[in-house]
Structure 1
């Protein structure tokens, strides 16, 4: 499988335009697992958005307090900046990030051209089971309802795909790659 996608307009002597996939969805949807698999299979650089959160944001979430837009803005801008730096280096990326609202995705899109979204969606019951079963993550299951309320599915004018999280990670990854082609 090629590690770069060459857009139709790229000539034979031009460097392929980097692609930036943002794997989005609520906590527990499988963003990290699928994002890592996508990056591995496509040969893209991977980043986990949770690692960009300032300590104050993590503390809020650990205590069951949902983040507000003011909490998220500097975090989203840092993510867009990271993508922009990779784009300038000619490196394609996969970023696991909730990107729940359209306005958050608009900020992320400003980081670089070639941003595409992969929305991992599924039943709240399945996702709640996954959150409850996982260990060592700062996001408690109690915040799932606030994330589900905030979630704005991809608009028809947004470049991206939606994939159901019911199957296993390998099958989800296969479906994402097939849909993105």
Structure 2
């Protein structure tokens, strides 16, 4: 998978994917600026995963989002027309890790049940979104937290990952 910051037209190879450009530290800092939007080469498919490593801000306000979406540039449309295959939202105030999707312009009801809230201010985290035939499996720091069944049925159309919120990104893959 290649993540491409649409603002910079550079490739991020922070996890060492063979054959890609490896940016120096200054380029990497610019590439991983939040909000971030990156391309998923070939779209999603069973067996593919997205890894986001970062550090939660010292005083996180509301939430951090990680969204595999359909369509790179539709964010600029008013209103945005793209589907969101999975929106993960960490709300620090009430310590909830929520997930939802947007299909044909309508958000699904947020799902909220998790065993524990995995994020701590000023601490590192690792989110893995594993794509399977019927669902996404979400892991944080190696612990499986929940499954999210696909609402977007065309997995290859899920071609972009967006990250925003009160965090710093350290690695993507």
Give the TM-score of the pair, scaled to structure 2. Answer: 0.25
Structure label with greater radius of gyration: 1
Whichever structure has more helix as a proportion of its residues is 1
Give the TM-score of the pair, scaled to structure 1. Answer: 0.24
Whichever structure has more strand as a proportion of its residues is 2
